[in-house]
Structure 1
């Protein structure tokens, strides 16, 4: 097949896929030709970050790479990323498109915050530097930044004007401070740098001099800044947990973060905010303030300030004095995407954080779609059990199934699905209420599996001796008096099944358990403890079970023994014939009515019974009519993500778009790894914000049996 020559210079970075002829994840390449089968023929560049090499980026080798495994770059972007090392840091930077875009537009005298051995320090960009000698026409200069530090008195800290400022890569820049954030009275000294004698490092004289533009912007915003400073003590924006905010530090540097706690700390009289910053800052904590823990995060990221010091994150909120509100045609800056024919596999655990975590990640919400966004991300964000639903050839599928497959593929390849894709899917569901109204997740899930995917009911439930009934989700029904104040999902499931005389006909491949609540208006329990594993051995019909006391083959089951405090309350009680007689001779149990079990004829009385376990892989939560989800993206106990399809918004309700956010939340692993007895005695109010949200707002728990794939009916609907 003849390759198509590339007329214009094109560069790319490999974002996913296995290493292929040298093109591993994070490497930079230049397109030499494009093949019709969806592959790129390119040159691979070697680079040395942090000044570790004096040679320019040289093409090390050539090879083929799939187009869908790459992300296009401009020459300038490629040069900046080439100086970043190791390659994994390039992908981390690319996962923050707002920051990377701002770095690409830096110019002289722009204020930045850089990572340094002394911590995160503010400084001024002085020069854009070419690193390496260009020895042949295919070489590509690496680019870095000379940054001059600024001390707390707003003066340049360089004491020796002749010494060149330190050199930083794009990955060393953790923040670009907007020009309008610089407070009044902050005047920068003019610096004079002598000639550089660094081997292989050259100042680019043609660096865009946008610094003068930045100063004009500051001058134009002077009046606005004065008004803001005069009114900041009397009024402030309404905040809530989850709000994205910015705070101007005493040194004039703006820091950004997410509100995790609101309240009046001990020793204070006014309202304060506990904020998790985007990066570590010297002097910040891990969620403690004056010896009291208010939330939990990584060390050096927790900042506590009065709410009057907070304002909306200026990177995502359109200012009334800035450009006009986005028009309906405005869309967030997302990479273009071409859907290949082959299905994308589940995201590997090693790649999930770099691909998914950040703003404008996951599925973008639009017009009450959070129930659908959270459900789709929970089902297809990482679950291997549900992976084979998109394996049918695209040319024989219904249009709506093709649309769903494209959503799943884009999520797994690019880490982001625009709202328009989901709106098309909602329209194809066929019901007007799915297009604009908020639905219950269980209603959408039933339609998804039954009508869209044509999958047989996930559950086959037997009530007493009656025939089986099919279902896609399991609703918990019980009396509040049957449980303690903070039950586990295992206890809720066991009690509900025994109370309703229900059994699973066979081991389900996927079990979605609805909690005893009705939307955001009523919930039976204020807190529910997630069970990371569900043991459904004792809930399977006509399956061997072991005696609760002696371990031999069980022949009887007793519902009245379930809450018995002397027999592990909340645990299902089944007994062999001997133990059943002995247990029910106790005066407090003589009124019980044990029920005979259906015992398989070939079951041996003294053979250990294998346990049938299901693993938790996602949790849907609801708070104030808004659905979010927690999803486990790998086997590691700490591999948890939090997803909100409408975490923030750019523009007003009529114009603009929602900003979906995905956050890593390893603290869930720490919490859920505790013994069940310790969890039952824990105080949810002292837990971190995300753990507390999981305990208080859980709506549906999703479990899977990885050994059992989902099945489709023998016939296929047209």
Structure 2
């Protein structure tokens, strides 16, 4: 096995496999579960979760684990937590259902590659393959709440009742009994009856009691915190919109952040950054550094975290007085004047906030500059009647001759416009996926012609309607392409790849996901935010001043709406539909929310979920 697990090989045998190491470097072997069953016909090596006619279940539908589930594997030195990245079979090893796990700690030795195939992607040294029966779901494992010094054998017994629930059928029972005859593990099976199990029951009962005490203590702490009214870092509040029911609860009148005294620039930005994503939560929880942080650091952080973010996530509503506290604190710093009363732009607020909280820049550019925001500087291209953010991003990289030194966890892109006065394009379609592969220094690139690894870059081959992809070639294709009379004078540069990347980095495209769009119309900012409902494309629209009550002496009423047309207008179908409306001069009759999304986009926010895990 290549890269996936420990390189200290055990003697080859039927169904040999390599398992993760504990953090002390020792291999810890979970018994293999052999089977006499033959492979189903037509199943090839490394199949991800195939259908098994003889067992009457499809592992992708009925397996107890799913991709991205959190799991625990226990070594001789304690539990190791990880995330499921792959499920399937290794048919040159055994018929057991295998789980590709990306561990939080460095207990593997690879990046997710098995022999010559990249099964999944993981940080170097964190990937391992483990039999299904060698894992527990993290939610079922209570080890973190009440650490107890217990023997290695106790773990398997003390967690039998919280095991993974495997498909129940006569065929599976036969499969299990077949394994038992050959010395397989009894972990995860209905009723433990061995002497070893009975012997450790007293320890198991003691552990259960300790876990119950720990749960009671944690619950008590949460009640006390809740009674105080303000959330703290010890009582994490989940983001909004994680389920359909949560989205329904989020939407409505008096939802979101209440606007007051020209605060919409701040309201929309904060809602976009914190309501439905935890991408920026490290800003809320970093302890103050007395050597570098300002004296007001803790107060500003506390107001942002407790009075705004956690209040929003807990109550789904933040009164304007809470936001005014933050505006006053930032205004007192003097970096940007008029934050409590005047109209401002989101970047002015963000620059002030990031400076006050010493937030490290998200972007490191090839020009050696560092920045939190990326402004699209582009000349208008008449060939792009309705550009996408992807096209404008590539054009900006090309025209500025810049690259990113590394993939960022967050990318906040400012559209090519200046407030409400100037818009380079009447319509811009936000790209749901932003491919930044060709904007990275020292990253693997793909040949535009054949798709193999690129070795050369030609800036002069750039075409705005195609993007940066058409600037990278392998040696062979570059030679062919540049034989054309229009390209014989092009200057090509070799792509420099760091040696550390050549060895283990998987050939994959670096793609970021859109999670928020801040828009402006007649000096008023609103935002669209993606709700993290699993396997759904759900967006909501937020306006901190959707209505008003009481005239001049009254107050604004914030509102959150479900943007039900998201599937219609995001992506290629929306672009085609918009192009047709523009040709027929019907673009002015776009639905209200859609018009604001496509005509008034001011700032698009993207996240890199892969990088986010490690920063």
Q: Map 1:329-348; keep pairs closer than 5 Å.
A: 337-339=229-231, 342-348=235-241
Q: Map 1:491-506; keep pairs closer than 5 Å.
A: 491-506=391-406
Instruction: Identify the match of residue 643 of structure 1 among 520, 535, 542.
Output: 542
Q: Map 1:534-683; keep pairs closer than 5 Å.
A: 534-563=434-463, 568=466, 571-601=469-499, 609-634=507-532, 635-653=534-552, 655-675=553-573, 678=576, 681-683=579-581
DSSP-derived class of the 2:266 partner: helix
CA distance in 1, matches of 2:343, 2:513: 29
Q: Map 1:443-462; keep pairs closer than 5 Å.
A: 443-452=348-357, 454-462=358-366
Q: Who is 1:172 aligned against?
A: none
| Residues 524 and 677 (structure 1), Cα distance of their counterparts in 2 relative to 1, 3 Å cut | closer
CA distance in 1, matches of 2:599, 2:325: 33
2:287 aligned with 1:383: no
DSSP-derived class of the 1:503 partner: coil
Q: Who is 2:607 aligned against?
A: 704
Whose Rg is larger? 1
What are the superposed Cα offsets for residues 246-266 of structure 1, whole Å, 9 maximum, x if unpaired?
Answer: xxxxxxxxxxxxxxxxxxxxx
Q: Who is 1:242 aligned against?
A: none
What are the superposed Cα offsets for residues 135-183 of structure 1, whole Å, 9 maximum, x if unpaired?
Answer: xxxxxxxxxxxxxxxxxxxxxxxxxxxxxxxxxxxxxxxxxxxxxxxxx
Question: Which 10-residue stretch deviates more, 439-448 or 478-487?
Answer: 478-487
Contact 1:553 1:605 in 2 (8 A): no
CA distance in 2, matches of 1:394, 1:366: 30
Q: Who is 1:688 aligned against?
A: 591
| Residues 564 and 356 (structure 1), Cα distance of their counterparts in 2 relative to 1, 3 Å cut | closer
User: CA RMSD, aligned part only?
Assistant: 3.3
Paired residue total: 382
DSSP-derived class of the 2:273 partner: helix
Structure 1 runs (4+) greater than 6 angstroms displaced: 36-40, 67-70, 393-396, 602-608
What are the superposed Cα offsets for residues 459-494 of structure 1, whole Å, 9 maximum, x if unpaired?
Answer: 10113xxxx211000000111027511111111111
CA distance in 1, matches of 2:514, 2:365: 20
DSSP-derived class of the 2:366 partner: strand
Contact 2:542 2:561 in 1 (8 A): yes
1:69 to partner: Cα distance:
7.1
1:626 to partner: Cα distance:
0.5
1:371 to partner: Cα distance:
0.5
| Residues 419 and 606 (structure 1), Cα distance of their counterparts in 2 relative to 1, 3 Å cut | closer
Q: Who is 2:24 aligned against?
A: none
| Unmatched runs of 5 consecutive residues or more in structure 2 | 1-138, 140-215, 291-296, 582-586
| Residues 398 and 338 (structure 1), Cα distance of their counterparts in 2 relative to 1, 3 Å cut | closer
What are the superposed Cα offsets for residues 354-405 of structure 1, whole Å, 9 maximum, x if unpaired?
Answer: 4321111100111111100000000001113223332346999611110001
1:675 to partner: Cα distance:
4.7
2:257 aligned with 1:360: no
Q: Map 1:90-101; keep pairs closer than 5 Å.
A: none
DSSP-derived class of the 2:238 partner: coil
CA distance in 2, matches of 1:469, 1:638: 35
CA distance in 2, matches of 1:553, 1:65: 53
What are the superposed Cα offsets for residues 91-133 of structure 1, whole Å, 9 maximum, x if unpaired?
Answer: xxxxxxxxxxxxxxxxxxxxxxxxxxxxxxxxxxxxxxxxxxx
| Residues 600 and 675 (structure 1), Cα distance of their counterparts in 2 relative to 1, 3 Å cut | farther
Q: Who is 2:342 aligned against?
A: 437
Contact 1:367 1:437 in 2 (8 A): yes
Q: Map 1:6-21; keep pairs closer than 5 Å.
A: none
CA distance in 1, matches of 2:498, 2:218: 56
Contact 2:431 2:571 in 1 (8 A): no
Instruction: Identify the match of residue 517 of structure 1 among 417, 440, 462.
Output: 417
Instruction: Identify the match of residue 428 of structure 1 among 329, 339, 342.
Output: 329
CA distance in 2, matches of 1:667, 1:539: 31
Q: Who is 1:373 aligned against?
A: 267
CA distance in 2, matches of 1:395, 1:571: 43
2:287 aligned with 1:401: no
Contact 2:444 2:507 in 1 (8 A): yes
2:364 aligned with 1:470: no
DSSP-derived class of the 1:587 partner: coil
Q: Which is bigger in relative contact order (C-alpha 8 A, separation at least 6)?
A: 2
1:633 to partner: Cα distance:
1.4
Contact 1:553 1:604 in 2 (8 A): no
CA distance in 2, matches of 1:359, 1:344: 22
| Residues 500 and 602 (structure 1), Cα distance of their counterparts in 2 relative to 1, 3 Å cut | same
CA distance in 1, matches of 2:523, 2:282: 32
Q: Which has the higher helix share?
A: 2
Q: Which has the higher strand share?
A: 1
1:564 to partner: Cα distance:
7.4
Contact 1:385 1:708 in 2 (8 A): no
1:554 to partner: Cα distance:
1.4
